[in-house]
Amino acid sequence: MKNGRVRSAAVVVTGLALAGGVAACSSSGGGSSPGSGSSSASSSVAQLNSMTDAQLYPEAKKEGKVTWYTSMPENDLPAITKAFEKAYPGVSVSALYLTGQTPVTRVETEARSGAISADVVSGSGDAVLLEQAGLTDTSYRPKDAPKLPAGLTMPPGLASDRIITNVITYNPKAVAAAGLKPPTSFADLAQPQWKGKFSMDPTTADLLNALGPTEGDSTVLSMIKALGSNSPVFVTSHSLAASQVAAGTVLAAASSYGQTAVVNEEKDPSTTNFVNPSPLPVLVSEIGIVKNDPDPAAARLFMDWTISKAGQDVVTSLGLTSVRTDVTNNPKVWDPAKWKPVFEDVSQSTAETNKELQEWQSALNYSGTGG
Amino acid sequence: MANAQQAPAAPSPLLPTPTYFTRLRQRLNEQNVIFVIITVVIAYLVLVPVGTLVVASLRSNFLGFGPSSWTLHNYSSTLGASSFPSLIGTSLEYSALVTLFATVIGMALAWLYVRTNTPAKWFALLASLVPLIIPGLIDAAAWVLMLSQNGPVNNVLHAVGLPRIQVYSMTGMVLVQTLHTIPLAFLMGMSMMGSMDRSLEEAAAASGAAPHRTLRSIVFPLLRPGVLGAALLIFVLTISSFEVPQLIGVPAHEWVITTEIYNATSQYPVKYGTVAVLGMVVLVIALLGLYLSRRLGGMTGRETVTGKGFRPTTIDLGRWRWASLVLVVLFGLASLVLPVLALIWSSLLPVYQNPSGAALHELTLSNYTAIFNTPTTLNAAENTVIISVLTGAITTLICVVAAYLLVKTKLRGRRVLEFLATAPVALPSVIIGVSLLYWYLAAPLPVHLYGSVTILVIAFVTGALPFGLRFIEPAFSQISTELEEAAANSGATRFQVFTRIYLPLLRPALTAAFLYCFIIAFKELTSALFLYSAKSNVLAVSMYSMWLDGSYTTVCAIGVLMIAVLVIAVILVRKLGGSIHMAR
């Protein structure tokens, strides 16, 4: 018995010794702080910033690869990476699909450890949060950046790689079988007959962000509370929401993307249809270069290509929507003359974003310890 | 022989007293050196995650850019949050219900299989073994589709006048996790009942006791400790589970600790303190459950029943055997047939729709061709195979050495080694993932392992250790030490004894250990979610991402291929390695 205690004590002591090691380095952060790039790296970055894409290409080829963290639908990534690799042979794209705020948390965690893997980050709100945390390269001015709609300003170093409309998706067959009428507005889903039969994504406050400035935060929050009280099924990605509707696991989705809904509708109109609400909430996906990234030339080349007409042609061919006016978007999803768009505020601070997210989640009764 | 080398030599009055260095040299024989090395390796694998978690829970700014100090604030803020009681309540309710249903049904099926003349019993065994290789994510995905509003299962329930099941609910969570866990309870029950002393039952019967009285007075008391031990182990595994709570619980507003941990790591800024404290909570619960389970003999198989008096007698159920057949068929349908059919059906559709004549016209192989035309998926598949093979090989190697030291030597401290090697059962994958991520970010190591394949192998080996040992340790126990002694007397070195005597005799157990650890790694999602990168992505994570992306049918196609690959691997390895007893 005594020996057992001694052994247990030995195990605990060893554990604590290891723990002490972690503690010693955890206080120092264990890695580089944001913005701690070396002076030689800075001069190199300055040189890269002044290069044309033709000049960047040989440098990018030497690096050989670019790592891209994105919330763009995973199925669409191969087409984009293949097109880039065809345009710039010798530079391969390693694309990692991440949802919600995980692109940001990933890059931040990597930065803390001083082991940055990501070169380019894109997603709705992701690059902006990183820019505010000092983790993007703000010195770069991407070439041929698309012009943003009036009133929208992009933080330095960032550009829009696509826009995303938020639509109401429903399953016509399942809705009819349940004896319901197709929803035409968010308010419809707050009606008692829809209780527990529709989904919402609690992980992003995009509706509040986009609709708040024009409709008023309190009005939008009241609507969200009404939806939250109607027992929505929580779904942790807008793309998943549209597929749940098509599969009939829910009858409708209040948070789903037009780009996904239209693809599902084309595949099977009996299980997917969608409504563009008025005004139409629109999210802006930003793209930016990670500070102190391992492949700075390839990152610049990739970012430039993605937002160029050539890149955006590939984006729109996948059913995604571009902010560029010289490409062809799907008219069922994007027609500003028909559905008045209201854009999310891309200049919002991290504190404001988090406050909005808390209000959103609170309105939806989305739980969490919140510690 | 080995023990003789360990016995301290009695000091001779004619020889000088051994110095410290002489004694040290005596102790530094190859056996002790190997023991120290293997103990350090296992201690590193097991204590690093726990130590990192403890520190992270006590630091004000773990992994922070700014200053950090020791604090209990993370505990007070997390445990004091208004939602914490409900989080714990839901976790316990979910785990307790799954434990109850899975244990009762699994043990009942085991009893029917081992002790009765139920027809087509092989079906129950098949329906228990095959689901062990089905990833939890795939199983949950299949049930989400089958239990959709107008899904096939709900339609059948409705047709027979039963209420439809809302999959996104506590009921749905418990149902799906129970179906996923019953095979484990069945296999544990089968092992227990197969080695039960039946002479007592026969004595009771000979004394005129009715069957139900024999059951109540003899069988239940004999099985109780083992069943309770098994139930506690199921409880530990359930409270650590992630896939079903994430896919079904979160949409239903039913949060458990593991999903809350994942949630806290996914939000910006990351709540490192909250993550660590919640990890500590689940660790304490799991350790307590494991401790009680071991005390009751459920984990190690040291049940209160013995193999003495074993005779393969069976109970004639009479007409009731047809009722038991129905139970077995229902179990097989729910556990194996329906999920696999649902996966195959979904994998052949461009967009999921419920089975119908019209849907038959939509069938296509496009999901399969898409998989083979997607470089990222192929890369994930390649990584998965490499990581799984490495996990199987490394775990088996560590476990064979550890088992030898545990069984064939009387080295001081070997119980510490055993404790360390079996402790990861109480380390949920979510904790291994989070804490290894933190450790390899924070520790001043000469190489950066973050984002590499190596870190995934480390995580998977840690989680697989107890299972590898579970296969190899009993096999070692069955090999007589006389063989080693005879070989040593003939001049064989310890290495020769190990490679020429033990390894050939252990081949079936080593093959089974390799295979089981390979399967664990092949389907592991939770820890991989925290540790993967673009370069080290694995299939399980890729499937989860596709699920979130709404690509149901592609996920199902990958799932079908994964199951096919695992079945082929089992058959191949079985042929190469001889008889394998997965149900050991």
The region, left, alpha or beta by phi > 0 then psi within -120 to 50, assigned to residue B69 is beta
Partner-chain contact A14 B47, CB within 8 Å: yes
Residues of A in contact with B147 (CB under 8 A): 249
Residue carrying the six token digits 């005390």: B295
| Residue B428 near residue B283 (C-beta atoms within 8 A) | yes
Within 10 Å of residue B446's Cβ, how many Cβ atoms? 4
List all residues of chain B from 203 to 232 with a beta carbon under 8 Å from chain A.
none
| Residue B268 near residue A108 (C-beta atoms within 8 A) | yes
pLDDT tens-digit readout, A146-178: 888 877 888 899 999 999 999 999 999 999 989
Contact of B39 with chain A, judged by CB distance below 8 Å, is answered with: no
Beta strands A120-124; A65-70: pairing state: parallel
What confidence tier does B517 reach under pLDDT thresholds 50, 70, 90?
A: very high
Q: What pairs with residue B158 in β-bridges?
A: none
Contact of B59 with chain A, judged by CB distance below 8 Å, is answered with: yes
What is the interface pTM, i.e. ipTM, of the complex? Answer: 0.79
Contact of B148 with chain A, judged by CB distance below 8 Å, is answered with: yes
Q: Are residues A105 and A232 in the same domain?
A: no
Nearest Cβ partner of B59 from A23, A34, A174? A23
Check residue A7 and give its pLDDT: 47
DSSP conformation letters of B16-36: PPPPHHHHHHHH-SHHHHHHH
Partner-chain contact A95 B376, CB within 8 Å: yes
Check residue A183 and give its pLDDT: 96
- Shortest CA distance to B541 belongs to which of B550, B551, B530, B552? B530
The answer as to whether A25 is a domain residue is no
What confidence tier does B350 reach under pLDDT thresholds 50, 70, 90?
A: confident
The answer as to whether A123 is a domain residue is yes
Q: Is A292 exposed, middle or buried (0-12, 13-18, 19+ CB in 10 A)?
A: buried
Which tokens sit at B479? 């090999």
- Shortest CA distance to B150 belongs to which of B356, B4, B291? B356
Residues of B in contact with A197 (CB under 8 A): 149
What confidence tier does A358 reach under pLDDT thresholds 50, 70, 90?
A: confident
Mean pLDDT, residues B442-470: 88
Partner-chain contact A237 B550, CB within 8 Å: yes
The answer as to whether A18 is a domain residue is no
Residues of A in contact with B68 (CB under 8 A): 26-27
Mutation site for A-interface testing, chosen from B46, B50, B52, B55 by largest number of A Cβ within 10 Å: B55
Nearest chain A Cα to B441, which residue?
A: A113
The answer as to whether A335 is a domain residue is no
Check residue B300 and give its pLDDT: 42
Residues of B in contact with A105 (CB under 8 A): 265-270
The Cα B313–Cα B325 span in angstroms is 19
- Full set of structural domains in chain B with CATH: 29-55+85-306+322-352+364-577 (1.10.3720.10)
Partner-chain contact B251 A234, CB within 8 Å: yes
Q: Greatest CA separation found in chain A?
A: 82
The Cα B318–Cα B118 span in angstroms is 9
Examine the pLDDT at B30 and tell me if it is beyond 80.
no
Contact of B351 with chain A, judged by CB distance below 8 Å, is answered with: yes
Examine the pLDDT at B556 and tell me if it is beyond 90.
yes
Residues of A in contact with B74 (CB under 8 A): 371
Partner-chain contact B448 A97, CB within 8 Å: no
Check residue B580 and give its pLDDT: 45
More confident residue, B193 or B562: B562
Q: Are residues A271 and A178 in the same domain?
A: yes
Q: Which DSSP letter does residue A146 get?
A: P
The Cα B137–Cα B384 span in angstroms is 16
Residue carrying the six token digits 């994930």: B380
Partner-chain contact B168 A367, CB within 8 Å: no
Sign of CA dihedral B205, B207, B208, B209: negative
pLDDT tens-digit readout, A68-89: 999 888 888 889 999 999 999 9
The Cα A119–Cα A66 span in angstroms is 6
Q: How many CA atoms lie within 13 A of B32 on its CB side?
A: 12
Check residue A18 and give its pLDDT: 46
How much of chain B exceeds pLDDT 70, in percent?
89
Examine the pLDDT at B5 and tell me if it is beyond 70.
no
Contact of B69 with chain A, judged by CB distance below 8 Å, is answered with: yes
Examine the pLDDT at B538 and tell me if it is beyond 60.
yes
The Cα A171–Cα A272 span in angstroms is 5
Whole-angstrom CA distances from A55 to A48, A49, A51, B107 are 9, 11, 6, 70
| Three-state DSSP class for residue A329 | coil
Residues of B in contact with A174 (CB under 8 A): 149-150
The answer as to whether A347 is a domain residue is no
Between CA A170 and CA A181, with CA A176 as vertex, the angle to 5 degrees is 70
Q: Are residues A130 and A260 in the same domain?
A: no
What confidence tier does B1 reach under pLDDT thresholds 50, 70, 90?
A: very low
Q: How many domains does chain A fold into?
A: 2
The Cα A37–Cα A111 span in angstroms is 11
Which tokens sit at A59? 């440098």
Partner-chain contact B443 A25, CB within 8 Å: yes
Examine the pLDDT at B498 and tell me if it is beyond 90.
no
| Residue B246 near residue A234 (C-beta atoms within 8 A) | no
DSSP conformation letters of B419-444: HHHHGGGGS-HHHHHHHHHHHHHHS-
A239-243, B246-250, B525-529, B556-560: least confident range: A239-243
What confidence tier does A37 reach under pLDDT thresholds 50, 70, 90?
A: very low
Which tokens sit at B369? 């061709």
What confidence tier does A20 reach under pLDDT thresholds 50, 70, 90?
A: very low
Q: What phi and psi values does residue A217 have, to the nearest 5 degrees? A: -55, -45
The Cα A33–Cα A23 span in angstroms is 18
Examine the pLDDT at A40 and tell me if it is beyond 70.
no
Check residue A369 and give its pLDDT: 47
Q: Is the peptide bond before B67 cis (omega within 30 degrees of 0)?
A: no
The winner for highest mean pLDDT among A102-111, A162-171, B439-448 is A162-171
Whole-angstrom CA distances from B559 to A244, A245, B205, B429 are 18, 22, 50, 21
List all residues of chain B from 477 to 506 with a beta carbon under 8 Å from chain A.
none
Check residue A66 and give its pLDDT: 96
Partner-chain contact B350 A268, CB within 8 Å: yes
Partner-chain contact A105 B270, CB within 8 Å: yes
B120-134, B145-159, B293-307: least confident range: B293-307
Residue type, A134: G
The answer as to whether A63 is a domain residue is yes
A-B Cβ pairs (cutoff 8 Å, strict): 261
The answer as to whether A226 is a domain residue is yes
What confidence tier does A288 reach under pLDDT thresholds 50, 70, 90?
A: very high
Domain of A184, in residue numbers: 164-282+352-363
How much of chain A exceeds pLDDT 90, in percent?
49
pLDDT tens-digit readout, B91-115: 999 999 999 999 999 999 988 888 8
Q: Are residues A297 and A159 in the same domain?
A: yes
Contact of B259 with chain A, judged by CB distance below 8 Å, is answered with: no
- Shortest CA distance to B169 belongs to which of B262, B83, B90, B248? B248
Which tokens sit at B223? 């099985």
The Cα A354–Cα B267 span in angstroms is 10
Check residue B245 and give its pLDDT: 95
Examine the pLDDT at B361 and tell me if it is beyond 60.
yes
| Three-state DSSP class for residue A138 | coil
Examine the pLDDT at A272 and tell me if it is beyond 90.
yes
Contact of B155 with chain A, judged by CB distance below 8 Å, is answered with: no
The answer as to whether A7 is a domain residue is no
CATH of the domain at A75: 3.40.190.10
Examine the pLDDT at B143 and tell me if it is beyond 70.
yes
The Cα B241–Cα B102 span in angstroms is 14
Whole-angstrom CA distances from A118 to A70, A75, A364, B63, B447 are 10, 20, 33, 19, 18
Residues of A in contact with B61 (CB under 8 A): 27
Mean pLDDT, residues A237-256: 89
Q: Are residues A174 and A268 in the same domain?
A: yes
Mean pLDDT, residues B248-267: 89
Q: Is the peptide bond before A155 cis (omega within 30 degrees of 0)?
A: no
Q: Are residues A47 and A176 in the same domain?
A: no
Partner-chain contact B552 A25, CB within 8 Å: no
- Residues 6 or more apart whose CB falls under 8 angstroms from that of A317 comprise A79
Between CA B16 and CA B21, with CA B18 as vertex, the angle to 5 degrees is 140
Contact of B382 with chain A, judged by CB distance below 8 Å, is answered with: no
Examine the pLDDT at B2 and tell me if it is beyond 50.
no
What's the gap in Å between the CA of B495 and the closest CA on chain A?
A: 29
The Cα B295–Cα B233 span in angstroms is 11
Q: Are residues A182 and A105 in the same domain?
A: no
Residues of B in contact with A244 (CB under 8 A): 550
Q: Are residues A57 and A120 in the same domain?
A: yes
More confident residue, A161 or B121: A161
Which tokens sit at B535? 């370069």
Contact of B448 with chain A, judged by CB distance below 8 Å, is answered with: yes
How many secondary structure helices (H) and strands (E) does chain B include?
29, 0
Q: Are residues A201 and A115 in the same domain?
A: no
| Three-state DSSP class for residue A36 | coil
Q: How many CA atoms lie within 13 A of B29 on its CB side?
A: 13
Q: What phi and psi values does residue B572 have, to the nearest 5 degrees? A: -65, -50
Check residue B140 and give its pLDDT: 92
Q: Are residues A179 and A273 in the same domain?
A: yes
Check residue B124 and give its pLDDT: 84
Q: Are residues A64 and A150 in the same domain?
A: yes
Nearest Cβ partner of B441 from A27, A74, A113? A113
Examine the pLDDT at B505 and tell me if it is beyond 90.
no
A322-331, B206-215, B472-481: least confident range: B206-215
Residues of B in contact with A84 (CB under 8 A): none
Q: Is B576 exposed, middle or buried (0-12, 13-18, 19+ CB in 10 A)?
A: exposed
Q: Which DSSP letter does residue A95 get?
A: E
Q: Are residues A148 and A134 in the same domain?
A: yes
DSSP conformation letters of B146-192: HTSTT-HHHHHHHHTTPPPP-SSSHHHHHHHHHHHHHHHHHHHHHHH
Nearest chain B Cα to A238, which residue?
A: B549
The region, left, alpha or beta by phi > 0 then psi within -120 to 50, assigned to residue B451 is left
The Cα A114–Cα A294 span in angstroms is 11
What mean pLDDT is reported for chain A? Answer: 84
What's the gap in Å between the CA of A12 and the closest CA on chain B?
A: 9
Examine the pLDDT at B61 and tell me if it is beyond 60.
yes
Mean pLDDT, residues B449-474: 91
Examine the pLDDT at B213 and tell me if it is beyond 90.
no
SS3 content of chain A, % helix, strand, coil (to 5): 45, 15, 40
Examine the pLDDT at B479 and tell me if it is beyond 60.
yes
